[in-house]
Amino acid sequence: MLLSPASAGRERLRGRSLTSGPPAGLAILPVDRRVPSARGSRPRESPEASVLSVLTPPARSIDPRGQRFGAGVSAAILAAAFALGLPWLAVLVGANLAVSAAFGTRFFLPGRAWPAVRHALRLGPPAEMEHEYPPRFAQALGATFLGLAGLAFAIGATLLGWLLVGAVAALQVLLAATGICVGCRLYVLRWWVPSLFARLVRRTDRLVGVPVTAPIRYDR
């Protein structure tokens, strides 16, 4: 088979690259396999990063120990409501959880004594601050359960009402004792409720003028 000089040169170069590596003076550079979303734009974010950016926008950072303290106090109040037969007290706890979920954890009355307790015990700052939205979502879930309990009390389903109250109290005890927040873990799952909650909470934060960039101050 006859080849032109140019074709012969290409065939020699091809054979050389297959057998003896690249020609002297040439280097093989790594190829960036990321695919940009459009010409001239950055590569696409991973789905996990996109979800987290939606669920945890810039917001207040809080001391997780304060949340554990408030959970313990609210669990004690719910236990007292059951022991004394005061369903309205459990409903009041649920109403306060709803306000705190909507407008910020600084409105959570059972946790308001935490700064004084921290100063009295001479505790330093926490090892890590916590984004406020997951605890607020957990409080919204607790408020929902206690609201259903209040409805059960109103229609005479007392046993069902106290079972719902007991479920909330048990989750509060779990948070206070171990730091495990079940509602916070549900918040970061891929379902539509947390993203809807995040959008609503951002609106209420703008409404009340919450400082969304500065972390919580420890002298409050």
User: What does the alpha-carbon distance between residue 56 and residue 187 come to, in Å, rounded to a whole number?
Assistant: 10
Residue 32's pLDDT is 46
Residue 88's pLDDT is 97
214, amino acid identity: A
Neighbour count for residue 42 (Cβ, 10 Å): 9
Whether the Cβ atoms of residue 27 and residue 96 lie closer than 8 Å to each other: no
Whether the Cβ atoms of residue 16 and residue 23 lie closer than 8 Å to each other: yes
Long-range CB contact pairs, 154-162, < 8 A, 24+: 158/87, 161/87, 161/90, 162/82, 162/87
Low-confidence spans in the chain with pLDDT less than 70: 1-59, 208-220
What residue has token string 């979303």?
Answer: 37
29, amino acid identity: L
User: What does the alpha-carbon distance between residue 188 and residue 172 come to, in Å, rounded to a whole number?
Assistant: 19
Q: What is the pLDDT of residues 26-63, one digit of tens each?
A: 444 444 444 444 454 454 544 444 445 556 666 678 89
User: What does the alpha-carbon distance between residue 37 and residue 39 come to, in Å, rounded to a whole number?
Assistant: 7
User: What does the alpha-carbon distance between residue 60 and residue 210 come to, in Å, rounded to a whole number?
Assistant: 8
User: What does the alpha-carbon distance between residue 136 and residue 73 come to, in Å, rounded to a whole number?
Assistant: 17
Q: What is the pLDDT of residues 103-130, one digit of tens each?
A: 989 899 999 999 999 999 999 888 888 8
Residue 17's pLDDT is 42
Residue 165's pLDDT is 98
Q: Give me the half-sphere count of Cα atoms (radius 13 Å) on the Cβ side of residue 101.
A: 23
